[in-house]
Amino acid sequence: MEVLDEIQLNFNQDSLLLMNICMGLVMFGVALEISLQDFKNVIRRPRAFIIGLVSQFLLLPAITFLLVLLIQPTASVALGMILIACCSGGNISNMLTVVAGGNAALSVSLTAVATLAAVVATPANFTLWGNFYLSTSTDLPSVSISFWQMLQTITLMVGLPLLLGMWFKEKYPKLNAKVRKPIRTASIVIFGIFVVSAFSANFQIFVAFIHFIILIVLLHNALAYGTGFVLGQAFNLPLADKKAIVLETGIQNAGIALVLIFNFFDGLGGMAIIAGWWGIWDILSGLMMAWGLGKINSTRQSVT
């Protein structure tokens, strides 16, 4: 698998610019679903919310680093795992929390605040853990991680579109109600097309290594779900809150990770394949996890 450290997925500068713009549109569409009430809910129930953020932004990156040390994947794969762990949760977690019978309000609040917090938290976490890993590895001597450059990119790509979207929703609520679903759907579809095009040009590389990546992502994703569950269990949270935190921790925004990989690491093979497969797998695993968590309610109700 060491050859992954020497492979770069082909993606020209024009396509990269369009990919960044499309991610901005995705985040704008996400913001059209966020309301001030989501932030007010945090104040009303801060305990579960704080535990959810700790699970996602503190424990998951730290535990991922330990996993990297344990399984010792090739360097580019290790960095991809760390970057995924440092991203905010994906918005599909809100829908999955409803399916699981979890606390939907907590899930939405966590997604809203975590997405905004990720503007700083993602580059800070990745700079910390990524550089810590690079200091122990000499396999990628040409790779460097700059907090400020990554912060600037995420601010433009994530922070600014989110603020604009939230402003638009508050300023034009009637228009927002009409356009939010079409805008969000269209932006996600377009972004998906760009991601597919990036991998289609390198399909042979993807096929050659996917059997290794599948196992790593399976283990990493299971660890993410387990982190949320163990923390919720440790603090004796209500079942509905635990479900929300499990899904928020396990569903990571691989789209942001991919854009950062193409912007800062020139589509470095192991990083790109890890992020690409994670984006597919966490949807599948999320659906299975939500179904399984939903059965817990049914089982308890049938017993009582």
Ramachandran angles phi, psi of 219, nearest 5°: -65, -45
Res 239: pLDDT: 92
Token pair for 216: 């790593």
Domain CATH for 289 = 1.20.1530.20
Res 302: pLDDT: 38
Res 33: pLDDT: 77
Query: Which residues constitute the domain of residue 187?
Result: 2-303
Check whether 227 has a pLDDT greater than 50.
Answer: yes
Are 297 and 98 in contact by the 8 Å Cβ rule? The answer is: no
Question: Where are the alpha helices (H) located in 235-268, listed in sequence order?
Answer: 239-250, 254-264
pLDDT, tens digit, 9 for 90 and up, residues 157-175? 888 888 898 888 888 888 8
Q: Name the pTM for this structure.
A: 0.85
Are 216 and 274 in contact by the 8 Å Cβ rule? The answer is: yes
pLDDT, tens digit, 9 for 90 and up, residues 201-225? 667 777 777 778 899 999 999 999 9
When comparing pLDDT for 19 and 144, which is higher?
19
Check whether 23 has a pLDDT greater than 50.
Answer: yes
Arithmetic mean of pLDDT, 279-287: 87
Check whether 303 has a pLDDT greater than 60.
Answer: no
Half-sphere exposure of 22 (CA within 13 A, CB side): 21
Q: What percent of the chain has pLDDT over 90?
A: 27
pLDDT, tens digit, 9 for 90 and up, residues 48-84? 999 999 999 999 999 999 999 999 998 889 999 999 9
Domain count, the chain: 1
Of the candidate ranges 69-78, 98-107, 188-197, the one whose mean pLDDT is the lowest: 188-197
> What is the rounded CA–CA span in Å between residue 293 and residue 97?
9
pLDDT, tens digit, 9 for 90 and up, residues 250-276? 998 888 888 888 888 877 778 888 988
Check whether 299 has a pLDDT greater than 60.
Answer: no
Arithmetic mean of pLDDT, 273-294: 88
pLDDT, tens digit, 9 for 90 and up, residues 142-151? 666 778 888 8
Token pair for 67: 């996993």
Are 21 and 191 in contact by the 8 Å Cβ rule? The answer is: no
Write down the mean pLDDT value for the chain: 83
When comparing pLDDT for 148 and 2, which is higher?
148
The confidence band for 153, taking pLDDT boundaries of 50, 70 and 90, is confident
The confidence band for 15, taking pLDDT boundaries of 50, 70 and 90, is low
Beta bridge partners of 89: 252
Res 204: pLDDT: 73
> What is the rounded CA–CA span in Å between residue 20 and residue 218?
28
